[in-house]
Chains A and B, each alone.
Chain A
Amino acid sequence: AQSVAQPEDQVNVAEGNPLTVKCTYSVSGNPYLFWYVQYPNRGLQFLLKYITGDNLVKGSYGFEAEFNKSQTSSHLKKPSALVSDSALYFCAVNPNAGKSTFGDGTTLTVKP
């Protein structure tokens, strides 16, 4: 069975500082990997995806992610956090079976 873990429930950073949100996963084969963001009382918004190739992927809103297949992990990063980046961030894996499994999310709080 596939699983996704986001080891930090909460990440706090000061505005202007770099941010990192972590994810590990367990799934067979070579899955597709995704990051999403969710603002209060809204649906999830797609940030970026990794399928194959370069392990550093750039996405929306200045975010980028590192993917490490040997460690089955991914780190979502942004060099300089904004207060408006405060939200809930989800990692998801999608094996060839075609449905995504989501982690439980990490709440990012960026303080001015």
Chain B
Amino acid sequence: EAEVAQSPRYKITEKSQAVAFWCDPISGHATLYWYRQILGQGPELLVQFQDESVVDDSQLPKDRFSAERLKGVDSTLKIQPAELGDSAMYLCASSLSKADGYTFGSGTRLTVV
């Protein structure tokens, strides 16, 4: 069964440092999402891509977060500088269409110390 690949699985970083997460969606899925999940809460959308274009980044803290999907395939989410409040699970998901539901990766657990 096809999977969404994410790396790294775990990341510990000091505050004010830069950190990056990578996601490779299921082949053929044009829509890619980055969600942030704080412990005890549901996932919250950070950014949505359709191919290489950003469709929705209204909840992305753009002063420190950036996301790209240059060739419309894999994607990178960056945080610079990291803050203590950024500690969370970062989930990548992809979908063929909005009617199909999302396939999620295993996530990256970020801890900022």
Contact = CB atoms under 8 A, between A and B. Distances in A.
A46 B109 CA distance: 20
A29 interface: no
Contacts of A49: 99-101
A26 B33 CA distance: 22
B98 A44 contact: no
Interface of chain A: mostly helix, strand, loop or mixed:
strand
Interface residues of A, number: 24
A94 B97 CA distance: 11
Given A98-B55, A102-B42, A43 B98 contact: no
Contact of A44 (B40, B100, B104): B104
B105 interface: yes
Interface of B: 4, 6, 31, 33, 40-45, 48, 55-56, 91, 93, 98-107, 109
